[in-house]
Amino acid sequence: MPIHEIRESLEQARIELDGNGFGILQKVINLKPNMSHKMLQCDAFLDNPLPTFGGAKITTELMVTPTPVIYTDMIIDGFSSRAPSASNDNTLFKQTRIYVRGATQPPVEEFPNRFISARPTFTWYMPKLYITLFIHGDPNDIINDYANSVYCAVEAKKVSLVTYGMGIIREDHIAQVGAVMTQGRTIQPARNVGQAFPMWRYGGVRPELMISGSSLANFFNRTSAQEESNTLSTVDLRGLARVARQMQPNLDAFGTADIPVIGSIPDWVRFELWEGVESGPVRDQWPPIKHADNGNVLTL
């Protein structure tokens, strides 16, 4: 698979910003169509480290993309019309610089970061490579003698027309969306621990409800018409089993409190229920067996 090394530059003796302090400089490089292109290496070099300008500072955004760059409504360094984020799938390379009057070296941020040996291996299908510079500064400011070179090593591979066409459509759609990105969700610090690990926040042993002795005896006595002791009916037992399973918020005890006549029912009483109370009426054949239309036994 052939590898093409591209060396291009953006150079202007005079760049005049508009009334909003915004300027765009762009160059397009034609590539071979019906191919997939993979970015193996990309780097940018500022040929003139300190271009002159009239305002207090300028902020530049250099991007390498397969489609023209549409500025967004987001903010960068106090200026509007920021370029798309580096997370945008059409961003193959991005570099930002901040020039402050009187400073000797502008701070630089790059994506991908070559200092951690991160190599850009992004793939695109558009037969173009756009080198775009966004300049943000004071209204109507003039930047003199700007020069920036870009190096790209691109690997090309033949692909089917379907793959090529779908890739073109996808990249075209990505280029036209994302005026304002909102990613991630805001978590209130007070809720950070409780919503993920509630017992880590609260700790300790959860409180339990108490059941009265008379209610306990009525609950565990077997229900029979021949017994003289007070017992609960099967319907009552099932009702108490239901309220014993009641979940409660932190830090309340599980179960149900303040039931008329009986009092509180803790959650642990459900552990001693016998068959027919916990799972409903007992069938003649236990465990139940049910057959499908073809005679196979179903798992219930």
> In sequence order, what DSSP letters do the residues of 63-113 get, joined into one string?
EEESSPPPP-S--BTTBSSPPPPTTSTT-SEEEEEEEETT-SS--EEEES-
pLDDT at 290: 80
Residue 177, helix vs strand vs coil = coil
pLDDT greater than 60 at residue 258: yes
pLDDT at 276: 66
For the ranges 213-227, 233-247, 283-297, the lowest mean pLDDT is seen at 213-227
- Higher pLDDT: 265 or 262? It is 265
pLDDT at 286: 60
pLDDT digit string, tens, across residues 19-33: 999 999 999 999 999
pLDDT bin (cut points 50, 70, 90) of residue 141 is very high
Residue 118 carries which DSSP code?
P
pLDDT greater than 60 at residue 225: no
- Taking residues 283-294, report their average pLDDT: 72
pLDDT greater than 80 at residue 250: no
Q: Which residues pair with 108 in a beta bridge?
A: 97
Look over the chain and give the mean of its residue pLDDT values, rounded to a whole number: 85
pLDDT greater than 80 at residue 292: yes
Quick check: 29 and 150 in contact, CB under 8 A? no
Residue 114 vs residues 43, 49, 52, 95, 288: alpha-carbon distances, Å: 9, 19, 28, 12, 66
**Phi, psi (rounded to 5 degrees) for 123:** -115, 140
pLDDT bin (cut points 50, 70, 90) of residue 222 is low
Quick check: 155 and 38 in contact, CB under 8 A? yes
Residue 231 carries which DSSP code?
-
pLDDT greater than 60 at residue 283: no
> In sequence order, what DSSP letters do the residues of 250-281 get, joined into one string?
TTSPSEEEEETTTEEEEGGGGGGPPTTTSS-S
**Which of 151, 131, 130, 153 is CA-nearest to residue 38?**
153
pLDDT greater than 60 at residue 287: yes
pLDDT greater than 70 at residue 203: no
Beta strands in 114-248 (DSSP E): 123-124, 128-136, 142-158
Residue 32, helix vs strand vs coil = coil
pLDDT at 220: 65
pLDDT at 138: 95
**Which of 67, 103, 280 is CA-nearest to residue 177?**
67
Query: What are the sequence ranges of the domains in the chain?
Result: 3-175, 207-298
- Taking residues 58-76, report their average pLDDT: 94
- Higher pLDDT: 204 or 282? It is 204
Quick check: 63 and 126 in contact, CB under 8 A? no
Quick check: 9 and 145 in contact, CB under 8 A? no
- Taking residues 253-260, report their average pLDDT: 85
